[in-house]
Structure 1
Amino acid sequence: MAGSQASDAVPPAGAAPAAGVDRRQIIGGAVVLSALVGLPLYAWQQARDGMDGGASESEKLLIARLSDLVIPATDTPGAVAVGVPTFVELALLHGLDETAPPVSGPVRMANYRGGFPVLEQVARDLDRKVSGSFLHIMADRQHDVLADYDAEAFGGERQDHPWKKIKALILTGYYTSEVGASRELQYELVPGRWEPDLPLPPNNRSWSSDWTAVDFG
C-alpha cells in the first residue's frame, strides 16, 4: 500500500479492530484438523533465524493484511503481533501445505517462487471483487470482501481453491506460535488421567497439545 489512501484504509498492525471477536469467528473459523507436526516448527525456527523469502513489498503487505483480517488482536495478540506474516512468507517459499508443485531435478532454479503463485491468484481474485486494489479499500470493506471470498472458497465444491491454502498457512502459523498454542488454545504439558466422557463447558477451547483436534478450514 502506498500514499495517504492506504494509511487511511488499513489500521496499524496488531491493532484491535471493532468487534474483533466476531471477526475472528466469521473469517478465522473453528480450529479442527491438520498434519502440522514437524514442518511448521521447522518453518518457525527458520523465520526466527532470519531466513528471508522471495515476497515483493506488495505481497508482504497483502500477507500481513490477510493475516490481520483472519486473526485480529482481541484479548490475545493477533496474527500480525506474533509474526504470522513472516511464517506464511517462508512457508510459501518452501511450498508448505502443498502450495507449490515438487521441484524437478536436484537444484531449484534462481527464479523459484514456491507457492507464491497461489498468493498471486488470491490477490487477483480479491482485486477483481473490488474492481480495483483490495489493499486500498477501507478496512471494513476489506473484511466484508474477504468474508464473502471465504464463504465462496469453503462453501463451494472446488477443492483446490487458492484461499484454502493461504488461510491454512495463516492458521497454522498462529496456532503453532507460543501465543496461539498456549494462550488462545489450552495446553497441558503432562495430561492427567483418561476420561472417556466429560461435559464441555461453554466456549470450550481446543487443546494445542492434541493434534487430532486441530483442523484449519
Structure 2
Amino acid sequence: MQRRDLLRLLGGVSVLGGLAPAELFAVGRETHRRIELERSPLGFFDTHQMHTVAAAGERILPATDTPGAMAARCHRFTELIVADRYDLPRQRRFVSGLIDLDRRASSSTGHLFIDCAAPAQDATLGALEADAYDAAGAMKPDTFWRDLKYLTLFGYYTSEIGIEQELKTVRFPGRFDGCAPIAPAPR
C-alpha cells in the first residue's frame, strides 16, 4: 500500500466519524498510551479472538525491514477501539467477522485462521477483501474487512513504530535556540 492510499483510507473512513485529522491522531496516540499503561488485554476479545486479530493484522502489515502490526500492538489497539468506541451492533459485526474469518479458513484449509500458514491466511484475507467490494469496485460501507483493515492501519500509523520507524517522522526536528544571535540579512 502506498502512503497516498493510506491517507485516502484514513481520511475517508473514519471509525470515529466527524473527527478532524488532528483529533483522530490524538485518539490514536491516547489509545496507545492506554495500551502502555494497562499492560494486559482489556478482555473484550477472548484469547482466540485476540490471536486472530493479531494474526490478521500481521498479514495486513507484516514485518519487513520495519516491525509489523503485531509489534505495534495493533491487535490491542483494535480491541480498545472496538470496545470503547463502537456501538453494540458494530461490535457484534466485528466479532461475527472474526467468526467468519475462521469459518472461511476452515472451509478451505481445515484449520482455524490462526493455525493456517501465511499463504493460506493471505488467501483467506484476499477472499474477504474481494467480498467487501460491490460490482462497481467500490468498498461496501459496513463490512468487517473495512473495519479490520482500517483499525490495523490506524493503530499502526499512530504507534511509535509506525510514526518513527515506518514513516521516519521526526516529531521535534532540529533544535531551538531562543536566545541565539541573528546575523543581519544580506542586502
**TM-score normalised by length of structure 1:** 0.60
Cα drift, residue 176 of structure 1: 0.5
The question of 1:89 aligning with 2:68 is answered: no
From 140, 150, 173, give the equivalent of 2:129. Answer: 150
1:40 paired to 2:28: yes
Q: Distance in 2 between the 1:162 and 1:116 partners?
A: 10
Task: Find the residue that maps to 1:30 and give its secondary structure.
Answer: helix
- 2:53 is the counterpart of 1:67: no
Letter of the 2:37 counterpart: D
Alignment match, 1:78: 68
User: Could you report, residue by residue, the CA deviation over 1:118-137 in whole angstroms, capped at 9, with x for unpaired residues?
Assistant: 33221233233232532333
Amino acid at match of 2:69: A
Q: Return the offset for 1:86.
A: 1.4
Equivalenced residues, count: 152
Partner of 2:101: 126
- Pair 1:167 & 2:146 matched: no
Please tell me the root mean square deviation across aligned C-alpha atoms, in Å: 2.8
Query: Which residue pairs with 1:137 in the alignment?
Result: 116
C-alpha distance in 1 between matches for 2:172 and 2:37: 29
1:212 alignment counterpart: none
What is the identity percentage for the equivalent residue pairs of Structure 1 and Structure 2?
29
Deviations along 1:18-65, one digit per CA (max 9) or x if unpaired, are xxxxxxx49x99311334232112211111111624210111111111
Q: Residue 140 of structure 1 aligns to which amino acid in structure 2?
A: P
1:183-212 residue CA offsets vs partner (Å, 9 max, x unmatched):
211424468xxxxxxxxxxxxxxxxxxxxx
Q: Name which one, 1 or 2, has greater alpha-carbon Rg.
A: 2
Deviation at 1:142, TM superposition (A): 0.9
CA distance in 1, matches of 2:139, 2:75: 28
User: What are the ranges of 5 or more consecutive residues in structure 2 without an aligned counterpart?
Assistant: 12-20, 174-187
Query: Whose helix proportion is higher, 1 or 2?
Result: 2
What is the rounded CA distance, in whole Å, between the counterparts of 1:140 and 1:38 in structure 2?
35
In the alignment, residue 90 of structure 1 is paired with which amino acid?
L
Secondary structure in 2 matching 1:88: helix
Q: Residues 57-106 of structure 1, C-alpha deviation per residue, up to 9 Å, x if partnerless?
A: 111111111111111100001111122211111111102xxx325xxxxx
CA distance in 2, matches of 1:182, 1:70: 19
User: Which of 100, 116, 121 lines up with 2:87 in the alignment?
Assistant: 100
Per-residue deviation at 1:157?
Answer: 5.2
- Which segments of 5 or more consecutive residues in structure 1 lack a partner in the other structure? 1-24, 102-113, 192-217
Question: What is the distance in 2 between the residues matched to 1:151 and 1:157?
Answer: 9
Distance in 1, matches of 2:60 and 2:4, equals 8
